[in-house]
Amino acid sequence: MSRPILLTVLFVSLALNVFVAGAFVGAKLNRGPPDGGGQELRPRNPVAAAVAVLPPDDQAAWRAQMPEFAQTYGPKVRQARRLMRQTMLGFGDEPFDADAAVANLRKARDLEAESRTEMDRRIVTFAAGLPRPERRRFGEALARPAGPKHGKAQAAAAP
């Protein structure tokens, strides 16, 4: 085999190996260990994570009330996010109206607060209807710190 062909074949082989190795590493990082590594995957939403510790019937009862909440408060949360984003994107406008920006951000926070307050009310009302052991587990799950650095401790502490 001539030297230029051999160099080309070696280069293509190297590129292919890097591509394949990168694909495996990327898949592993995105998916985590193939067997779960003995850790439970915790949803990003702390309420969803807390509901996940409950028996299936209680999980279904929680989910049954959520469409109405989403229908009522989802648009308000989206409006708040949209208003915040538009306000912050307007920071470069001339003339810059700081008072209007603060008023828009206050309105966005008020919309968020209304939604959060309703969610808090629903959580407390739901918890009040649970038997004491489940209510305790639900509260403990809600109180757990969120984030990946706490995942190992959470999985080890799970019953």
Look at residue 91 in the predicted model and tell me its pLDDT: 92
131 and 73 together in one domain: yes
Indicate the pLDDT class of residue 21, thresholds 50, 70 and 90: low
49 and 24 together in one domain: no
Q: What's the CATH code of the domain at 74?
A: 1.20.120
How many domains does the structure of the chain reveal?
2
Considering the domain boundaries, does residue 142 fall inside one? Answer: yes
75 and 142 together in one domain: yes
86 and 137 together in one domain: yes
DSSP for the chain reads --HHHHHHHHHHHHHHHHHHHHHHHHHHHHH--TTGGG-PPPPSSHHHHHHTTS-HHHHHHHHHHHHHHHHHHHHHHHHHHHHHHHHHHGGG-SS--HHHHHHHHHHHHHHHHHHHHHHHHHHHHHHHTS-HHHHHHHHHHHHSPPSGGGHHHHHHH--
Q: In terms of residue numbers, what domain contains 148?
A: 44-157
Tell me the average pLDDT across 107-118: 94
Considering the domain boundaries, does residue 26 fall inside one? Answer: yes
Indicate the pLDDT class of residue 34, thresholds 50, 70 and 90: very low
- Average pLDDT for the chain: 80
Which residue is associated with the tokens 């292919």? Answer: 16
Considering the domain boundaries, does residue 143 fall inside one? Answer: yes
Considering the domain boundaries, does residue 75 fall inside one? Answer: yes
What is the C-alpha end-to-end distance of the chain, expressed in Å? 64
Query: Is residue 43 scored above 90 in pLDDT?
Result: no
95 and 24 together in one domain: no
Name the pTM for this structure. 0.61
Q: What is the pLDDT of residues 54-77, one digit of tens each?
A: 999 999 999 998 999 999 999 999
